[in-house]
Structure 1
């Protein structure tokens, strides 16, 4: 499987996981030239921007180490642009940034709410 198809597969796994907890998918794979957001979900009054990471290793820490401060800044910037483009006032909207870490084969899922 190519990296893109692996990514798409595990994003679909993450969507199923999140929707089973009542979140609604708003958008998948929103991209700008300098950033992207894997999933944009809604949970009640919250807009939830989700980064999905998969690693074959069972070590959950390995997944978290993949996130640099610069990458997290890009995600936040991309979220602000998306909200602006969709007429959403970032100062009047409850927003959360979550991480879905999928590790191992067979996989396990860790959901870090309000991760950054």
Structure 2
């Protein structure tokens, strides 16, 4: 895996995460959505709920886990991008069910953890 550049590595881990989520019944809608406000790695559906997913990989957790890397600032960028995407698709935010998840991959071979509904305002 060292021969791959970071973008290729990221794509590999996103595919692993998507495969894991598909096995749990989610349906893929989009990958790597980018806008001025931020980026979303995966957009999927869980029945009637839109799911905006950040995928993080860490070889080691010396500086914290992969999930911990999704800090408040990163969460806000994901939220801005998701709200923009929903608006682009013609969904009224007040009447649309959505959530934010993180898929964490750590180690070799990567161990996958799925954290649902990580962004709770209030």
Fold-level similarity (TM above 0.5): yes
Give 2:86's aligned residue: 83
Give the TM-score normalised by the residue count of structure 1.
0.94
**Alignment of structure 1 residues 36-51 onto 2, 5 Å:** 36-51=39-54
Alignment partner of 1:88: what SS? coil
**Runs of 4+ off more than 2 Å:** none
Among candidates 33, 36, 47, match of residue 33 of structure 1? 36
TM-score with structure 2 setting the length: 0.89
1:115 aligned to 2:118? yes
Question: What are the ranges of 5 or more consecutive residues in structure 1 without an aligned counterpart?
Answer: none
Equivalent position of 2:74 in the other structure: 71
Structure 1 residue 106, shift from structure 2 partner? 1.0
Count the aligned residue pairs: 116
Shift of 1:34: 3.3
- Structure 2: which 5+ runs fail to align? none
Q: State the Cα deviation string for residues 16-62 of structure 1 (Å, max 9, x = none).
A: 00001110001000001231000000000110000000111157x42
CA RMSD of aligned residues (A): 1.5
